[in-house]
């Protein structure tokens, strides 16, 4: 027997039953993001590895352990073809699948000199798509997962209201997606200079005396990226960190900024907890960082996270003279779906057509295509099945109406219209069926929408 293939570890097929849920989530996301003034951007799913190294940080777990590379190895035949067609560029550099999209969006912002609409300064962008991390898979942790994210980037866009807007948008989306009681934690890492000072303070001050009491991972983090010690979940480390974390040397300016973000959030009724342990695993953050968790997800309970990254545009080649500001977040779609359980929305099509005899299939086929062209989702069975089997099939599809073509209907140019909910049946003229169904289907869709919400 031939080898049977299975989906790669840490990835999954999004099967037809679940796709409607994704579609609904994505269309809600697009609508809401646009209503906040964000425009969609689609960047490639792989980039130069160096882009991720420079933005996420050489010492971050993502760069160190989780990048999935697009290799430069290719079959000999392809190598020859590409050499002769001068098309080697794709293979000359080392590329990696994107582990997140912030770096790509900033790269594109700089490369395309993207400016925002109207204001000409702030560029508000959103994206929806797959990300890739070579992590050890577990519940809620995949190697290919999907994010809905936004990035607001621009010269002088350093208003605390923008941090609050971005957080409000994340919370708004989660509410619309049906995530129950999402919890928001925020913190400030301070400016780039503050981060350097904090790092020196931790490495050389009192805290350093406890280095040997930290867990093994934290001892190596202490050298590589001491910030990551602050969010270690291990009891021992947490105890030590707790003694210092509230006194980190944050400049007055940064403290004021953080207070302004908090006031802006309070003014629009967004509840949050200030968590000094929250530092995030990516190097690019400055000032505000945040994380949103939800119930029922086990250890991987973050449904979204983000923060400010004012220095990244310069780090990736933005114009020297411009003082850029940037803030954004990403929500994990799989975790959102996990958090409220899979609930399948309505099934299309709305109509099923039954031909009572094989010879009526041509008439049914004409009708099904006519309805589809008119935007009425319809289906039929092309096998010569009994009426009962076809009706069962229609029942399983959860359609509201069945159209039946029998001997009388064919003879009289009519069709029997069966209401599957009410169990009633009427005969209607074929020439009127489209207009009758259009009214009925729009009514049914309204009812289904109400039932779901
Ligand atoms: P992140 O915290 O790495 O941030 O990811 C954001 C969200 O993506 C997480 O809260 C989680 O819901 C989801 N996620 C991350 N890794 C996985 C995984 N292996 N499996 C399933 N879901 C996962 C970022 O990606 C930043 N780019 C967010 C950002 C945008 N910051 C500023 N702008």
105 touches ligand 1 (CB under 6 Å): no
**What was the pLDDT predicted at 342?**
57
Ligand 1 pocket, mutate which of 335, 338, 339, 340 (most atoms under 8 A from CB)? 335
CA 191 / ligand 1 centre spacing (Å): 22
305 touches ligand 1 (CB under 6 Å): yes
**What was the pLDDT predicted at 343?**
52
* Side-by-side strand order, sheet with 183-188: 39-40, 123-132, 144-155, 324-332, 302-308, 286-293, 183-188, 273-274
Pairing of strands 39-40, 46-48: unpaired
Three-state DSSP at 418 gives strand
Write the Ramachandran bin of 269: left for phi over 0, alpha for psi from -120 to 50, otherwise beta: left
**What was the pLDDT predicted at 297?**
87
**What was the pLDDT predicted at 173?**
96
182 touches ligand 1 (CB under 6 Å): no
Going by alpha carbons, the residue nearest to atom 31 of ligand 1 is: 306
Ligand 1 pocket, mutate which of 144, 147, 298, 312 (most atoms under 8 A from CB)? 147
Listed residue (336, 396, 345) closest to 16, CA to CA: 345
328 touches ligand 1 (CB under 6 Å): yes
Q: What are phi and psi of 48, to 5 degrees?
A: -60, 135
Q: Cβ neighbours of residue 41 under 8 Å, at least 6 residues apart?
A: 105, 108, 125, 126, 127
Distance CA 144, CA 191 (A): 33
Distance CA 416, CA 5 (A): 46
Going by alpha carbons, the residue nearest to atom 18 of ligand 1 is: 141
What tokens were used for 245? Answer: 């974390």
**What was the pLDDT predicted at 434?**
95
| H or E element at residue 404 | strand 401-405
Going by alpha carbons, the residue nearest to atom 10 of ligand 1 is: 304
**What was the pLDDT predicted at 315?**
94
**What was the pLDDT predicted at 80?**
64
pLDDT in tens, the chain (453 residues): 898 999 999 999 999 888 989 999 999 999 999 999 999 999 999 999 999 999 999 888 899 899 999 876 665 665 666 555 555 544 544 899 999 999 999 999 999 988 766 556 789 999 999 999 999 899 899 999 999 999 999 987 889 999 999 999 999 999 999 998 899 999 999 999 999 999 999 999 999 999 999 999 999 889 888 998 998 989 999 999 999 998 999 999 999 999 999 999 999 999 999 999 999 988 899 999 999 999 888 888 999 999 999 999 999 999 888 889 999 999 999 999 999 765 545 556 889 999 999 999 999 999 999 998 888 889 999 988 999 999 999 988 888 899 999 999 999 999 999 999 889 999 999 999 999 999 888 887 777 666 655
**What was the pLDDT predicted at 79?**
61
CA 234 / ligand 1 centre spacing (Å): 22
47 touches ligand 1 (CB under 6 Å): no
**What was the pLDDT predicted at 225?**
87
147 touches ligand 1 (CB under 6 Å): yes
Listed residue (369, 372, 355, 384) closest to 438, CA to CA: 372
**What was the pLDDT predicted at 281?**
84
| H or E element at residue 354 | strand 351-355
């Amino acid at each position: 027997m031939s080898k049977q293939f299975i989906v790669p570890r840490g990835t999954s097929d999004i099967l037809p039953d679940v796709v409607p849920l994704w579609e609904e989530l994505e269309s809600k996301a697009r609508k809401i993001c646009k209503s906040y003034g964000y425009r969609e951007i689609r960047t490639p799913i792989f980039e130069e590895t160096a882009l991720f190294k420079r933005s996420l940080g050489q010492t971050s777990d993502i760069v160190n352990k989780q990048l999935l590379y697009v290799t430069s190895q290719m079959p000999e035949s392809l190598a020859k073809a590409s050499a002769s067609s001068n098309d080697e560029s794709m293979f000359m550099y080392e590329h990696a699948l994107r582990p997140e999209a912030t770096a790509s969006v900033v790269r594109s912002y700089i490369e395309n000199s993207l400016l925002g609409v109207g204001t000409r300064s702030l560029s508000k962008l959103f994206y929806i798509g797959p990300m890739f991390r070579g992590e050890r898979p577990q519940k809620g942790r995949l190697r290919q997962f999907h994010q809905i994210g936004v990035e607001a980037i621009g010269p002088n866009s350093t208003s605390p209201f923008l941090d609050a807007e971005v957080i409000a948008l994340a919370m708004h989306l989660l509410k619309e997606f049906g995530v129950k009681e999402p919890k928001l934690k925020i913190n400030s890492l301070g400016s780039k200079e503050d981060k350097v000072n904090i790092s020196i303070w931790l490495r050389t001050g009192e805290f350093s005396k406890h280095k040997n009491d930290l867990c093994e991972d934290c001892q190596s983090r202490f050298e590589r990226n001491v910030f990551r010690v602050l969010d270690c979940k291990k009891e021992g480390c947490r105890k030590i960190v707790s003694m210092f974390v509230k006194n980190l040397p944050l400049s007055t300016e940064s403290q004021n900024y953080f207070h302004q973000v908090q006031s802006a959030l309070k003014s629009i009724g967004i509840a949050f907890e200030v968590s000094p342990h929250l530092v995030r695993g990516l190097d690019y953050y400055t000032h505000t960082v945040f994380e949103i968790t939800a119930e029922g997800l086990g250890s991987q309970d973050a449904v979204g996270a983000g923060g400010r990254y004012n220095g990244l545009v310069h780090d990736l080649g933005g114009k020297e003279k411009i003082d850029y500001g940037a803030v954004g977040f990403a929500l994990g779609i799989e975790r959102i779906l996990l958090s409220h359980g899979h609930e399948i929305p309505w099934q299309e099509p709305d109509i099923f057509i039954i031909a009572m005899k094989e010879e009526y299939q041509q008439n049914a086929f004409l009708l099904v295509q006519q309805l589809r062209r008119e935007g009425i989702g319809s289906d039929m069975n092309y096998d010569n099945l009994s009426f009962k089997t076809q009706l069962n099939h229609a029942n399983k599809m959860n359609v509201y109406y069945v159209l039946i073509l029998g001997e009388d209907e064919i003879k009289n140019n009519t069709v029997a219209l069966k209401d599957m909910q009410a169990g009633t049946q009427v005969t209607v003229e074929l020439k009127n069926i489209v207009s009758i169904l259009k009214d009925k289907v729009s009514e049914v869709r309204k009812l289904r929408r109400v039932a779901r919400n």
